[in-house]
């Protein structure tokens, strides 16, 4: 089994920014989402419909690591009256997201190019925060603690954060089975073993996901009153925390 890349040798913020700058169109499919992400389209619907059900009078929405804007656009198609704050490392992603939402969203669209770890936003301001396929770029425990604390601070009382991401499992044998074997088979079936190996290589180099139990426990630790698991399939999960 390959030894994972140590955190200090993972891709830099600039490396990640460069990759996403050159990959905008692949992240712009509202029907399928990311093919390498299991149940991407299902979770897109699940999260946006869940937000509408829990917050029928949305005012302010923050989309962290918005990419090309799939989740915010899908939400705007259902409830177009909110103001949207889009955050991403990549300026081309932000431009694409704003372009797609213009004319669909009735509220204001604000774009911020930033690493979420450096982001400074007002407290008690957002009704809901979307963080999909972004938190796996965090590194050590300090990163995770800081970002989850910020998310809690930025939300209004009663607000919620909706997360969908790659996860690990705390049990090594289970993690190998669900990630290397089962997810590996899924990737091979998309194209071939060469494709699977390429995906695993960039995940190892670029990402540092944490387990579902780690993240849900941390949400409660930083102050969220309740956390609900929405969906889990192999090494991908969606969940929500309420302030």
Give domain limits for the chain. 7-242
pLDDT, tens only, 67-86: 999 999 999 999 999 999 99
More confident residue, 14 or 88: 88
Q: How confident is the model at residue 136, as a pLDDT?
A: 96
Residue 97 exposure: Cα atoms within 13 Å on the Cβ side: 33
Total-model pTM? 0.93
Element (H, E) at 92: helix 91-101
- Decide if 161 contacts 193 (C-beta within 8 A): no
- CA 34 to CA 196: how far, in whole Å? 14
Predicted confidence (pLDDT) at residue 33 exceeds the cutoff of 70: no
- Decide if 21 contacts 92 (C-beta within 8 A): yes
| CATH class (in words) of the domain with range 7-242 | alpha beta
* pLDDT confidence band for 208 (50 / 70 / 90): very high
């Amino acid at each position: 089994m390959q030894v994972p890349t140590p955190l200090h040798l993972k891709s830099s913020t600039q490396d990640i920014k460069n990759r996403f700058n050159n990959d905008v169109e692949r992240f712009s499919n509202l029907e399928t989402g990311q093919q390498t992400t299991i149940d991407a389209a299902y979770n897109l619907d699940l999260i946006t419909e869940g937000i509408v059900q829990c917050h029928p009078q949305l005012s302010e929405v923050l989309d962290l690591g918005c990419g090309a804007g799939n989740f915010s656009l899908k939400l705007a198609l259902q409830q177009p009256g909110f103001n949207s704050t889009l955050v991403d490392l990549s300026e081309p992603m932000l431009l694409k997201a704003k372009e797609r939402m213009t004319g669909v969203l009735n509220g204001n669209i604000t774009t911020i190019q930033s690493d979420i770890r450096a982001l400074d936003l007002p407290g008690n301001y957002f009704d809901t925060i979307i963080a999909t396929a972004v938190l796996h770029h965090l590194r050590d425990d300090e990163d995770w603690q800081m970002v989850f604390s910020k998310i809690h601070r930025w939300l209004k009382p009663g607000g919620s954060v909706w997360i969908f991401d790659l996860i690990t499992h705390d049990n090594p044998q289970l993690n190998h089975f669900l990630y290397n074997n089962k997810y590996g088979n899924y990737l091979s079936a998309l194209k071939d073993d060469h494709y699977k190996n390429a995906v695993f290589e960039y995940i190892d180099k670029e990402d540092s996901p944490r387990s579902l139990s780690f993240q849900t426990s941390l949400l409660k630790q930083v102050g969220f009153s309740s956390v609900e698991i929405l969906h889990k399939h192999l090494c991908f999960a969606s969940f929500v925390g309420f302030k």
